[in-house]
Structure 1
Amino acid sequence: MLANAMYSIDLPHKMSFHGAGCVQTGKQEVDFQKSPPWSAYFPELRHDSVQINPAIDCMDYPRDYWERTDLKAEDVNEPLERNYRAESGRNLHTQKDGLDECVALVNLLKNCSYERNLDRGNKIHADILKKGLLMKDACLGTALVRMYVKCGVLVKAHEVFNELAVRDITSWTVLISGYTEHGLGDAALKLFGQMKGEGVSPDAVMYLCILKACSSLKAADKGEEIHVEVSRKGFLENSLVLGTALVDMYAKCGLLGKAQEVFDQLQGRDVACWTALIAGYVQHGYSKHALKYYQKMRDEGVDPNNVTFVCILKSCASLRASEIGQGIHKELKELGLLGKSILLDNALVGMYAKCGAFEKALDVFDKIPKQNIASWTALISGYAEHGLHDRALYYLGKMQNQGFIMDEVLLICVLKMCGNLELLAKGQQLHAEASRLGLLQKHALVANGLVEMYVKCGLLAKALQVLEELSIEDVPSWNVLIMGYIQHDLNDEALECYEIIKRKGLSPNAVTFINILKACGNLGAMKKGEEIHAEVSRRGLLENHTELGNALVDMYVKWGAITKAKKVFLKLPVRDIVSWTTLINGYADCGSLDVASKCLEQMQNDGISPDAATFTCLIKACTMVGAIEKGEQIFKEVQRLGLLGKHIRLNTALVDMYCKFGAISRAQEVFDEFLVRDVVCWTALMSGYVENGLGDEALNCFKKMQEEGIPPDETTFVCALKACSRIPAIREGAEIHCLIHRQALSVKNADIGNALVIMYSKFGALRQAQEIFDDLFSRDVVSWNVLIAGYVENGAEDEALMRLEQMQNEGFVPDATTFFYIFKACGRLGIKERAKRMHKAADRHGLLEKQYDLSIALVNMYSKCGALEEAEEVFNHVPEHNDVLWTALMSGYAQLGDINSVFESFSKMLAEMIEPNVVTFIVLFSACSHSGLVEEGHKYFVSMTSCHSVVPVQEHYACMIDLFSRTGQFEHAICMIGNSPDSDCTLLWSALLGPYQNWVSVEIGKWAFKHLERFGGKHSALYACMRNIYAASGIQGECSSEF
């Protein structure tokens, strides 16, 4: 609602303007902000020539009231008030100076209205009834209705109204205006319909009142009906006030195009008319438009009033346009308005505070003659918005020390700050204060703020309790809780809230449906989601809510139902950048890069330019399908549009893409181009280095990030710990652990705790790993798995099995990863019976049908336990074999020396059209080596490259060298070393010497030893090997001198 404007009118000599925003009536000063709608008491304002802002008030009295009585206000107000007070015990209504008794009573009632004196009004009402005057004078009845309206007793006002003998347009206007002023626009519209039904024709003043009701309800449809009526009756031709009211109504309803259309048709537009349009643009966040029309207004020679200045200062605050704001400030000084209008002073404080110019904000604030709660709110909210929470709390305390009590606006601001900072104790204090002041019951937005505060502090149960205790029948409050549940991944609870809303008989709005669709998408709740889709369509909400259509598209995208998503998309009445990006994201998630790219082209053809979010989706698709060239094209387009380095998610996606492509140097180049690098970007680059096996570089990033003043977050710490695990970097890992410990993150954050357990396990420091695990604040199945894996990988299989029992005793259910490592442990220990029990347990949990890796682990386990029948049974129950499963079975046969079964399995594998892998040939060569089958081994070696396109690795060469060495064919073994890509590899030379010292000649032994020694193979096993060779040759003395 617009604030007070400046008016030029002729008032009676005892009624004059007293400062901005006040009228002095005799000895009584009336503050516009606290008084009833003031124009109701000055019938002269009924003239269309007077400039009235319909957003402020609509008038109650008919134009001819004073003409009918032929009296002036100064003739009645003071004398009758004195008379009333002096003779309250006698007949209150004795005629004085020939004044008509009804007129006197009218003015006394008017005085009661000013003072909100219900008790006195009731006495006058009783006296009127006693004298039977109510039926004699329509104006007296109307005055009585008005008195009850102004005192807030609408039920009583309506009772009196129903008793009136004649209900004319004036009495209807008073009652309807009362309902409108008390925020009961629905009732006002209903009465308006009843009035017309009784044959009373609305006049211009009534239309002003009804347009105000439409504005408050955002009832654009009804407002348009009124627009048609007033146009048909010709009221708009001569009434700028009514035209201004229409502009104001459309603006408040968000139909700014319509408001602009009406505005453009008005002739002789005054400051009130311009201000209504400007205020509309400000209200809906179009601050640039507001400034544009402000300049146009000035260009047309129309001077702004206080309300205009307030609106423009709000625009400057929204745009952070401090320079324009300073210009307004200068003009206000020149006009001498500073210190005279609290509204202007507060707007200036708010503008400077929003712009972060706190010195100037404080300078204006300190010069305000008499600060009010709004002054403090403007300052405190500015500090809070800029993250200067200490200053905000300081001035809040200072304000309270000066005796100010928080109102609903400041309370909402401070509750929001408490939520953002998770200041639960302060928030709870505010809750108690709001309850004490009765603000929770009066203001739904305060309840919303309280619910939101508890939600952000993670106390969702408390937020629900607030809603239920207050019996809040306000959908926005429930929406806040629903959003909180979704943010905390409690989507089922969000859906339950939706059911509560329906059970309460409340009507979910577009925001409710948007959030519920999000919950359905997250849960994969297809049936419920489609029900909501049908409900939204039935209500016709998609016509006016693009965001709702976008939420539907997003839900289907999350389900992978891209066809349905596209179907919804094509039916949207308006497709914006979010609609297109959501659909493109759906195709990106499906790996359909080509279709996503076509959507991008079509979007651009429709005149919509892609933004950072659109490109992020496309880059994600390129990453998924490994489209390097397309990714590079998108990067260049991002660069061309000037988006590079400005959007965190886009930056991160680009770095991640190049890292996933293995182009880590390119990722670093792109990263270096970012002007602003936050913790997310740094972590993406670190992760790339880790995944590409460059742990040292990852740790270097970790160090540089902190040198640039960017503290690591939980994900960064996890990444750094992974790097330490893979290098391994024991000292750096311990330092990072100390840093984590200082922040107490290892016990709070499960991911960090798990990463620490993994790191110490990789270092072989199982005691430290166990200690960290024991200190974890919250342990889940993943925590148990990393601990068990650590024991297994370090050869402590018995400990791993003990931890499994402990895990189950504490109520945790093992998952596929748990059984994977337990199968490994059982296989190494060779405990067949325990292996069978573990097999049954995994089967009981239904894991074997879903987890292919578990079947492979089972085959390996039974093979190592020597239980080939069980291994074959598992193998045969797997519906579809692959190379890894066949290789696991072949390995089991090889371990038991069943060479024929190894070869048969290999033939069956090829018969199933399954290509062998690198490990398959290692198993084959190893089997041939242990059986001395040189020809078969050589045949498989040749076919490996010629028939199966498997490139030999060092392990293959080592197996073949081992095979030749076992059979004494050292020349072939040495040739094999020479043919390998890395002839200096110690693995190959070790295979040559290995366990075949009896076969190796001293010359070959010495030559191989010197070769190994030169390339870092100097260790005790080699010396022992050479001593054995000399001993086998009977040359002990030379051995002693050389080795």
Structure 2
Amino acid sequence: MQREGLSPRSVTFTCSLKACASVHALERGEEIHERITKERLLETDIVLGSALVNMYARCGALIKARQVLEVLPARNPISWNTLISGYIENGEYRLALECLEGMKKDGLSPNAVTFINLLKACAKVGDLDKGSILHNEISKSNLLKDGIALGNALVDMYVKCGALAKAKEVLKGLPKRNVISWSALIAGYAQQGEGEQALNCYEQMQSEGISPNRVTYLCILKACGCVGATYKGRDVHDEVSKQGLIKDDIVLGTAIVDMYAKCGALQKAEQVLKELPTRDVISWNALMTGYVQRGNAGQALRSFGLMQQDGIRPDSTTFLNVLTACSHLGLVDQAHMYIMDMDTKYGLKPNFEHFTCIVDLFGRVGKLEKAKEVLKKVTVPKVGLWLALLSACLKWGDVNIGRWAFEHAVHADKTDAGVYVLMAKIYYAAGMQEEVEAIEALQLENKSLIDLT
């Protein structure tokens, strides 16, 4: 068009800016901005100005987006909503919330889109006080009667801020409710471990003639696992199967496996897992975790073997289950091999839980040198690891390794009283009274130094 001597006008520029925003083409967007400025189009076109703010915001140039907004000769709620959305998209939730004051200074009233975005920001940062203030403004504006999306955002904000009773109160007061409203509340109860409340909400939703969606099913399966409601979980499983949802959704299939495993129906969990069209490490971990938590360590290790036959690469959770199973069975050599394999074979760095599990195992069977060998490989051991080894040294009367562990424990955290108590007990059991008194004196000295700082 430019080669033909035609001058792009506002509509063309607006479309071009939208294209730049969608592919994050900041440099091209800046070139268009220069053309717009030369033609002085922003003086008369608020839609074009909003498109320019949107382009900068979507490209992550938030300071520039704000600068453009502030120099616009006229601003409207759409301009501000564009900037607020940009802040939220880039994780700048507090800056998004601050925009409300800017709107008010411009004499503008926030609309439903504004409030939906601001409630989302409150939910992200857990700002219940600000969310409650917004709720009050929304109530005064009568916006809730016009659409369901704002009501859903309000419920979601209270849920994510942990105010579940308030979320339920708001939901009950909405002029219209849908599956999104109910699913947000059900998800909140499930995540807080209030499975019975989640199940009650599920029944109320169905009594209103609202059909569950995928999110609802995922949340209610979690709730069933939380309270051991196998009967309800089985009903949900049947419903999902009738709709043919499992064959295309590994996450939903895994949720069913996890539900049965948490309810202790491990044979059913394994049956469902084997029938899934596709399986991944999360599916297998759900089954293995169930076996470990129910004390079926042998079955957990068998499942690990089947997972490997399935060609699935283990992750950190897998190895925590495997090490826990080895600990339950007292399989010292296997546990040592697995924690070595994590790094050398799979490139996984063992974390605090892995090391604690294996140190506890070695300590219980008296393999203190092996425990020491493992701890030497830990980059920055937490004091809990040293406490586990000190407890084992007390059990087996190993003063030398106990002293080594104590020195490292004090270096990790000189304020932990348990470290001094265990070392003193080790010395006392060995009849080393002078050393006991030295430990007590060191504890007092370190405490005094800490109190002074």
Question: TM-score, normalised to structure 1's length?
Answer: 0.35
Within 5 A, what are the aligned runs for 1:271-290?
none
**Do structure 1's residue 762 and structure 2's residue 262 form an aligned pair?**
yes
Going from structure 1 to structure 2, the CA distance change for 1:627 and 1:728 (only over 3 Å counts) comes to same
Residue of 271, 286, 297 corresponding to 1:771: 271
Within 5 A, what are the aligned runs for 1:578-597?
578-585=81-88, 589=91, 593=94, 595-597=95-97
What one-letter code is carried by the residue in structure 2 that aligns with 1:824?
A: T
Report how far residue 677 of structure 1 moved. Answer: 1.4
Going from structure 1 to structure 2, the CA distance change for 1:650 and 1:186 (only over 3 Å counts) comes to closer
- Aligned residue number for residue 371 of structure 2: 871
**Root mean square deviation of aligned Cα:** 4.0
- Aligned residue number for residue 837 of structure 1: 337
Going from structure 1 to structure 2, the CA distance change for 1:583 and 1:610 (only over 3 Å counts) comes to farther
Structure-1 separation of matches of 2:51 and 2:147: 22
Residue of 242, 249, 252 corresponding to 1:749: 249
Structure-2 separation of matches of 1:903 and 1:653: 57
Report how far residue 867 of structure 1 moved. Answer: 3.8
Structure-1 separation of matches of 2:290 and 2:65: 50
Per-residue CA deviation, residues 507-562 of structure 1 (Å, 9 max, x unaligned), is: x9544433222xxxxxxxxxxxxxx3223323448845743642442342xxxxxx
- Aligned residue number for residue 63 of structure 2: 566
Going from structure 1 to structure 2, the CA distance change for 1:623 and 1:540 (only over 3 Å counts) comes to closer
Contact residue 569 and residue 579 of structure 1 kept, 8 A: no
Residue of 117, 137, 141 corresponding to 1:641: 141
- Aligned residue number for residue 348 of structure 2: 847
Structure-1 separation of matches of 2:186 and 2:225: 14
**Do structure 1's residue 553 and structure 2's residue 62 form an aligned pair?**
no
Greater fraction of residues in helix = 2
Contact residue 748 and residue 776 of structure 1 kept, 8 A: no
Within 5 A, what are the aligned runs for 1:408-423?
none
Report how far residue 600 of structure 1 moved. Answer: 2.6
Residue of 777, 782, 802 corresponding to 2:282: 782
Within 5 A, what are the aligned runs for 1:432-831?
509-517=16-24, 532-540=25-33, 543=36, 544=48, 546-547=50-51, 549-556=53-60, 564-571=61-68, 574=72, 576-585=79-88, 589=91, 593=94, 595-644=95-144, 650-831=150-331
Structure-2 separation of matches of 1:540 and 1:764: 62
Identity score, percent: 32
Contact residue 882 and residue 914 of structure 1 kept, 8 A: no
- Partner of 1:566, secondary structure, is helix
User: Structure 1, unaligned stretches of length 5 or more?
Assistant: 1-184, 191-213, 222-252, 256-283, 285-507, 518-531, 557-563, 948-1043
Specify the structure having the higher radius of gyration (Cα). Answer: 1
What one-letter code is carried by the residue in structure 2 that aligns with 1:726?
A: C
Structure-1 separation of matches of 2:102 and 2:67: 12
- Partner of 1:710, secondary structure, is coil
Contact residue 584 and residue 600 of structure 1 kept, 8 A: no
- Partner of 1:689, secondary structure, is helix
Contact residue 584 and residue 617 of structure 1 kept, 8 A: no
Going from structure 1 to structure 2, the CA distance change for 1:861 and 1:677 (only over 3 Å counts) comes to farther
User: Structure 2, unaligned stretches of length 5 or more?
Assistant: 37-47, 430-435, 448-453
Contact residue 584 and residue 599 of structure 1 kept, 8 A: no
Greater relative contact order, per chain length (Cα 8 Å cut-off, separation 6+): 2
What one-letter code is carried by the residue in structure 2 that aligns with 1:812?
A: I
Bigger shift: residues 794-803 or 706-715: 794-803
- Partner of 1:712, secondary structure, is coil
Report how far residue 897 of structure 1 moved. Answer: 6.5
Per-residue CA deviation, residues 654-706 of structure 1 (Å, 9 max, x unaligned), is: 33443344432222111112122111211111122223332112111111111
- Aligned residue number for residue 44 of structure 2: none
Contact residue 883 and residue 914 of structure 1 kept, 8 A: no
What one-letter code is carried by the residue in structure 1 that aligns with 2:314?
A: P
Structure-1 separation of matches of 2:210 and 2:139: 25
- Aligned residue number for residue 470 of structure 1: none
Per-residue CA deviation, residues 779-808 of structure 1 (Å, 9 max, x unaligned), is: 222112212222222222233223323323
Contact residue 831 and residue 865 of structure 1 kept, 8 A: no
Per-residue CA deviation, residues 862-897 of structure 1 (Å, 9 max, x unaligned), is: 445644334334444444344554454455556656
Going from structure 1 to structure 2, the CA distance change for 1:771 and 1:550 (only over 3 Å counts) comes to same
Contact residue 29 and residue 55 of structure 2 kept, 8 A: no
What one-letter code is carried by the residue in structure 1 that aligns with 2:192?
A: N
Contact residue 757 and residue 786 of structure 1 kept, 8 A: yes
Structure-2 separation of matches of 1:646 and 1:854: 53
Going from structure 1 to structure 2, the CA distance change for 1:838 and 1:911 (only over 3 Å counts) comes to closer
- Partner of 2:143, secondary structure, is coil
Within 5 A, what are the aligned runs for 1:295-444?
none
Per-residue CA deviation, residues 219-242 of structure 1 (Å, 9 max, x unaligned), is: 566xxxxxxxxxxxxxxxxxxxxx
Contact residue 225 and residue 263 of structure 2 kept, 8 A: yes
What one-letter code is carried by the residue in structure 2 that aligns with 1:550?
A: N
Report how far residue 834 of structure 1 moved. Answer: 1.8
Report how far residue 571 of structure 1 moved. Answer: 4.0
- Aligned residue number for residue 17 of structure 1: none
- Aligned residue number for residue 233 of structure 1: none
Going from structure 1 to structure 2, the CA distance change for 1:534 and 1:683 (only over 3 Å counts) comes to same
Contact residue 324 and residue 357 of structure 2 kept, 8 A: yes
Contact residue 584 and residue 614 of structure 1 kept, 8 A: no
- Aligned residue number for residue 42 of structure 2: none
What one-letter code is carried by the residue in structure 1 that aligns with 2:57?
A: V
Structure-1 separation of matches of 2:263 and 2:103: 53
Going from structure 1 to structure 2, the CA distance change for 1:913 and 1:835 (only over 3 Å counts) comes to closer
Contact residue 848 and residue 854 of structure 1 kept, 8 A: no
Contact residue 382 and residue 412 of structure 2 kept, 8 A: no
Structure-2 separation of matches of 1:677 and 1:611: 20
Structure-2 separation of matches of 1:914 and 1:567: 49
Equivalent pairs counted in the alignment come to: 409
Going from structure 1 to structure 2, the CA distance change for 1:852 and 1:709 (only over 3 Å counts) comes to same
Report how far residue 854 of structure 1 moved. Answer: 4.0
Structure-2 separation of matches of 1:798 and 1:542: 71
Contact residue 387 and residue 409 of structure 2 kept, 8 A: no
Contact residue 718 and residue 752 of structure 1 kept, 8 A: yes
Going from structure 1 to structure 2, the CA distance change for 1:871 and 1:688 (only over 3 Å counts) comes to same
Contact residue 714 and residue 749 of structure 1 kept, 8 A: no
Contact residue 725 and residue 759 of structure 1 kept, 8 A: yes
